[in-house]
Amino acid sequence: MIRILLLTFLGLTIFGEVSYAQQLPISQQNYFNNFSLQPAYTGYKEGLNAFASFRTNMLGYSSSPNTVAANFSYRDSDKHGFGASLMTDQVGLIRNNLLNLSYAYRLTVSTTGTLSAGFSAGIAENRFDFAAVSIEDQSDLGNLSNNGKMMFNAGFGLAYSTPKLTLGFGLPVLVSSRPTYTYNATDFRYGLQSTYTANASYIIPAPNLDMELIPTVIIRGQRGQDMLNDYILTAKYRKKISVSTGYRSTGIVPIVLKVDLKKNLTVYYGQEIALGTLGNASQGGFELGVGYKFTLKNGREEKLKREREAFERDSLSQALTALNDSLKIKMDALIQMDSVKQNNDELNEDIKKLRDDLKKAALEKQRLEAAKEEVTTPVKEVLGGKNSKTSETKTIDEEGVAIDQDAGYYLIVQSSVNREALEKDLTEWNEKEKETFIIKPGKSKWYMIAVFKFEDRKESLKALKEFRTKYPRAWIKKIP
């Protein structure tokens, strides 16, 4: 009896060393057949796709783990996928035979993206296979009653995929029954533990080399156990030959060669090299598998292809319509901007015109202020003109400028701060009037053309009224 328990414990221990006590065996199909990971990938390719494989681990041990598996994935529409998987797995004394059925619903969420949800349910027979080991006292086997119990399990998964990106999270074993075994009137239970997987991969084209590089990460976990992670890089040449290698967190380096012999036939071989402490105790393992795609009857596959192409064309048409609408909005915005710019140009012209008018008004204001300006000095400067003598007290300075110091009321017809310009205008005024001369009040900056001088204010205003009938802008300047 003690030997039976020791052998059972040994089998569980070896299984734990190989896969961290993962009850669902690892398969190198995971690198290129996503359906082997979790139920959301059921029908991930149209048609009927079948894979079968044989795998052995821990070479060098008489009770090394062996796994024989087959799975079938079927899809004849863009929405519904159906699948089935069979597996027998022996690790030492423990043999599990599993049958799972699965279904996945696919939902198109973008022009290239698909979201799928999958469900699985199945049965597993658990058996303690004592025939696989050598035991001295076979009579003790009878003490283990009800050997070979059936377990029921169910799983769930979600996945998102595009032509390049694949993301998935699944619970291949979400719930599982745990049948009871009896040994020597003692009950114990054994069943599948809750298991989860997560995966991500991305296709990086290398058209110059006619290759694709596909980095992949696969994470596996089981309740009460450490995670088991694969980090894989696949190089695919001309979509026919691919080589995958990387590292597994248990200290394993997998190397997998896959070849597409024909359009529908695939074979692969994988070798696993154990490193570190595990490498000292094991020679690694290998896996051999084959895959075949069955073409749908009645041209269904071709019809699916046409439907997919039609959907892509419709999606492209919708995208182009949306782009045209966006372009129209932008064009309208540009037209409005041009209109605003034109309005701004017109506004700038109006502003420029207003500024010119303001300058003219400022000059006119200066002229009016000069006309009204009163000075505290009686001195004025007289420059030429027909009237060479405006008063008896007129004197000549050193520069030959006549200075008239007499006070009075002067009739002014023009003024300017530019003395030379006003001298030129004086010539024209000499032809119009008999007595014209230029005066400049002593402290003023303005030069003025005067026509007459009056001693009396009333006489000057009377003369101004008559004079304005000819020259409306004339005014009277009083000099003290």
Closest Cα to residue 269, out of 35, 54, 73, 90? 54
Going from the C-alpha of 305 to that of each of 47, 156, 308, the distances in angstroms are 11, 28, 5
Cβ atoms of 171 and 194 within 8 Å: the answer is yes
Residues 62 and 104: beta-carbon distance below 8 Å = no
Residue 296 per-residue DSSP state: P
Low-confidence ranges of the chain (pLDDT < 70): 1-23, 58-64, 92, 128-147, 182-185, 188, 277-283, 297-305, 307-308, 311-312, 315, 370-406, 442
Q: Tell the CATH topology of 2-296.
A: Porin (2.40.160)
Please tell me the distance from the alpha carbon of residue 89 to that of residue 387, in angstroms, as a whole number: 136
Distance of CA 357 to the CA centre of its chain: 55
Task: Look at residues 246, 222, 264 and name the one whose alpha carbon lies nearest to residue 48.
Answer: 264
Identify whether the C-beta of residue 209 lies closer than 8 Å to the C-beta of residue 201. no
Cα–Cα dist 385/437, whole Å: 5
Cβ atoms of 47 and 35 within 8 Å: the answer is no
pLDDT for position 6: 35
β partners of residue 107? 115
d(CA 48, CA 22): 29
Per residue in 332-353, pLDDT (tens digit) is: 888 878 777 777 888 888 888 8
Helix (H, G, I), strand (E, B) or coil at 478: strand
Distance CA 65, CA 90 (A): 6
Contact present, 148 and 125 (Cβ < 8 Å):
yes
Domain range list for the chain: 2-296, 302-371, 373-479
- In this predicted structure, what is the pLDDT of residue 23? 63
- 132 vs 8: CA distance, rounded Å: 11
Q: What pLDDT shows up at residue 74?
A: 92
How would you label 398-428 residue by residue, b for 16+ Cβ within 10 Å and e otherwise? eeeebbbeeebbbbbbbbbeeeeebeebbee
**What DSSP state is assigned to residue 383?**
B
CB 410 within 8 A of CB 452: yes
In the numeric block, which tokens belong to residue 246? 């990387």
Q: List the beta bridge partners of residue 119.
A: 103, 156
Q: pTM of the entire structure?
A: 0.57
With beta carbons less than 8 A apart as the criterion, state whether 365 and 359 touch: no
Of all helices (H) and strands (E), which one includes residue 133?
none
Contacts of 15 (CB under 8 A, 6+ apart): 21, 65, 91, 92, 94
What confidence score (pLDDT) does residue 143 get? 47
pLDDT given for residue 380 in this prediction? 45
Q: Are strands 228-237 and 195-202 parallel, antiparallel or unpaired?
A: unpaired
> Do β-strands 94-108 and 80-91 pair in parallel, antiparallel, or remain unpaired?
antiparallel
Structure tokens at 323: 């782009």
Answer left, alpha or beta for residue 60, where phi above 0 means left and psi between -120 and 50 means alpha.
left
- The DSSP symbol for 42 reads T
Which of 440, 417, 416, 432 has the alpha carbon at shortest distance from 471? 432
Amino acid found at 305: K
User: What is the token pair recorded at 310?
Assistant: 């039609």
* Residue of 105, 224, 108, 98 whose CA lies nearest to 172: 98
pLDDT of residue 42: 94
3-class secondary structure per residue, 62-74: CCCCEEEEEEEEE
Q: Strands 265-274, 285-294: parallel, antiparallel or unpaired by DSSP?
A: antiparallel
Residues 6+ positions from 95 with CB-CB distance below 8 Å: 88, 89, 126, 127, 128, 129, 132
Cβ(49)–Cβ(29) below 8 Å = no
Distance CA 476, CA 457 (A): 9
Burial class (CB in 10 A: 0-12, 13-18, 19+), 218: buried
Q: Report the alpha-carbon distance of residue 263 to residue 295 in Å, rounded.
A: 10
pLDDT value at residue 403? 47
Segment 242-252, tens digit of pLDDT: 999 999 988 88
Distance CA 285, CA 26 (A): 12
